Amino acid sequence: MLEPTRHSPDPRSRPEVDLLLSCARTQVTPEISDRIRALVQKRVDWIELIRLAMRHDVMPLLYRNLQQVCPDSVPEYILGPLAARYREQAKEAHHRAEVLTRITSLFEEQEILAVPYKGPALAQKLYGDLSLRGFGDLDIMILERDVPRAKELAQLLGYEVMFLNDTVQFAEHVRANRELIFSHPSNGTQLELHWRFALQSLCVKDDPGRFLQHFERIALGGAQVLSLPLEVYFLILSLHATKHKWRQLKLICDIAEILGHNNVDWNYVRREADDLGLERMLAVGVLLAKDPLEAVIPAELARGLQIDRTARALAAQIRRGLFKEPDEDWTAHADLYFQIKIRERLRDRASMLYRNLPSILTPNERDQRFLSIPEQLSSLYYFVKPVRWTWEKMNSR
């Protein structure tokens, strides 16, 4: 059986982590600048710092702030390669933004609603600079009714569908899933067409319609494209980060950056969170943005957002694991227990349990790794599963 988890000391006691957290932002106050300068003078393991920045996908922010605050204090063998990587990523980001605008323009010509989100659209909207937020895929939200036509148009542009089981009817795939993933064979660009923002297991009602009621236009890749308002981004990025259990610092940076923007309609955010039962989820994101990223919570949001003991416990759990060495589950979706616990309403939890009952009861590879049983006795895994589940929950506290 698995050994109990041993908790490591506060990761912020490591200068590499403290320096990364200090640089993972667009707004650097004089106090934070002084902290960065002081940290750079310590015995920093620069290779470890870069490794952490790559894992958490905040390399652009790290380089930008080191270069602006204290370039003479960073070893040239570190700053030089960081600068080269930053320029290369910026070049690639602008190229992908142009590709994205060509795709969305084609969709709009065919009267298909196409809303870019995450990727270059979010980098431009939230960070004001394509080069400051790492991204790989091009994500576009469309309506479910438009999926067949959008698929045909993407294929006309040279994109090939990935991970689509030929034995499953296409209509059934669309009904049961929320995205189609494409890859372009000539340049490797990955395109993702979504028709829902959240996993269906999260039971978010009226998705995506309620998030697509208001749009803005932003300049991107030499064109004007549709963009989601920051109020909507705050909700859907919280859903996205929950799916990944907030394991990556970049996910927390996004929330912290929205909190730092003016003219966000926090009344809308609170109303939607209350109606959808996402208040605890938003509370976890706010707590993480405040600690470790020191984000200031707008008074209008702080007054109306109820932060309960469970939200605080979940945020503390995430902080403890944020800078641990990643395990085999690091890139996997958050476990169902976490996704249920982060919802505050009993009826939402019940709906999630009902929807996910088959996957809850069916043994999987994690049960097999937990305890090896001869194949002829494999039915015993139905009894092993609750034991494994209880063991993992006890050791995650």
> Of 387, 394, 367, which is closest to residue 378 (Cα–Cα)?
367
The pLDDT tens digits for 105-119 are 999 999 999 999 999
Give pLDDT, residue 210: 95
Give pLDDT, residue 3: 34
CA 26 vs CA 79, 85, 127, 133, 254: distances in Å = 19, 19, 7, 10, 11
* Cis check: omega of the bond before 208, within 30 degrees of 0: yes
| Residue 260 near residue 299, CB atoms below 8 Å | no
Name the maximum alpha-carbon separation found in the chain.
66
> Of 256, 214, 225, 207, which is closest to residue 96 (Cα–Cα)?
225
Query: What's the distance, CA 241 to chain centroid?
Result: 4
The pLDDT tens digits for 247-295 are 999 999 999 999 999 999 999 999 999 999 999 999 999 999 999 999 9
Token look-up 């919280």 returns 238
> Of 9, 4, 16, which is closest to residue 319 (Cα–Cα)?
9
Token look-up 């697509």 returns 212
The pLDDT tens digits for 152-210 are 999 999 999 998 877 678 888 899 899 999 999 998 899 999 999 998 889 999 999 99
Q: Which strands, in side-by-side order, build the sheet including 190-194?
A: 115-116, 138-141, 190-194, 179-183, 160-162
Token pair listed for 101: 């605008």
Give the whole-angstrom CA distance, residue 138 versus residue 140. 7
Q: Which of 86-100, 144-158, 247-261, 374-388 has the lowest mean pLDDT?
A: 374-388
Q: What angle in degrees, to the nearest 10, is found between the helix axes of 279-290 and 266-276? A: 130
* Cis check: omega of the bond before 30, within 30 degrees of 0: no
SS3 185: coil
Give pLDDT, residue 396: 61
CA neighbours closer than 13 Å in the CB half-sphere of residue 346: 0
CA neighbours closer than 13 Å in the CB half-sphere of residue 318: 29
